[in-house]
Chains A and B, each alone.
Chain A
Amino acid sequence: MKHTISLLVENEYGMLTRVAGLFSARGYQIDTLNVAPTLEEGVSRMTITTHGNDHVIEQIIQQSRKLVRIIEVTDMTVAPHVEREMVMLTVSARPGEQRQEVLSLVEIFRAKVVDVSNDSFILEMTGNAEKVGAFIELLKPLGIHDIVRTGPVAMTRVAHIKAQKLKDDDEEFSELTLNEKV
């Protein structure tokens, strides 16, 4: 089963290879990997998606916790959380019908056109893995020239905040419910 593991790490020399080395030495898979700073200086958040049975996932978590510079390891998959990744695509968009079709997909998926040329767009879209996948599938017949994906990042949902408040302030929340309906 696919799991999203979130690691809070001291951002020091060689930290990425410590984590990547642990995974390769023990035969665990890294499907995607994302590293970026947090609000606290010197501390980074790594988000890794991986897969394996419960035993493997438990070992990944326990072995990661043993790395001296890892502050916290969380298996996001076991608790309510929001997961997002960003994709950028260069797609064919010749003036006329094709361009209109791309724009309508952009509208439906709440994507953005971030660059325009005579016969192509660069699109930017954020969503969970399924939504990103669906967007890519629909664009394929129209012609995708290039694609980059960040891999997912994840955040635990704060359960005690009222759903109503989230709905007002957070566009992501309505997207989430939209996806859940689909």
Chain B
Amino acid sequence: MPTSRLGMFSKLYSKEMRELAPEMITVIGLAVLAYIYLFFKTHDYPFAVIGPVFMIGGMAAFLPVISSFKLLSREWKNNTVYLMMSLPVKGGMIMGAKLTALLSEYVLGTLIAGVSGFLLIYALNPELGQVLTSSIPGIGMKLIELWPQGLALYLTSIVIIAYIASISFFSQMVGKLVSRFSGLVTAVVFIATAYLSGKVGDLFWLNIDKQWFTNGINTFDLNVINQFLIINLLFSLALAAVIFTLAVIIYNRKIEL
């Protein structure tokens, strides 16, 4: 049977998705149950539904960060790392499949929790629908017309998850290089990498013309806002890619059993 890189990747990806299934089912199930409960119980204070919806959405958004630790460490715990490392593929594909699965977990979780939460809020508070379609004072646009910017923010949030997951992979790889206190090393490297890459971000933004940006925000210049969103997205993407590559290099060159 002929094999292909795509076939290999999709096998790895579906394996990772299967590993993530318990968490995804838990979050989605929890969201659905909570929403059903809220739908029937919050007639007196329909606004009270907003808090829980944001909480569940936040949980769905945060879950992939926890999963990123589980997905790698479990390979060592179950000895499946022996299979993983003997496969004729390099770390880029192995960790690429894991990262893609984590991002799928994020997108599925946030979309399901988010969309159904939004529908629930709307069902209980139909008058809130007007907020979307009425003109925002001082800007002269409707909220719903800002959907491209909303989408850009959502994409940025996906990249940020990729960035955090990459830090998680990188710190775990470094942790595997020491025979003792592996967990502690991982934790320290995780915090240090997050801190240092945050500093790099600060440096980057310091070099951007602040006046240009502040003026743009104050006058609500959509051009400036769009440029800002794109720069932010690309910068986060580059940062995530660098850290991910470091993790892959350690996997390819240094990890031993």
- A and B together in one complex: no
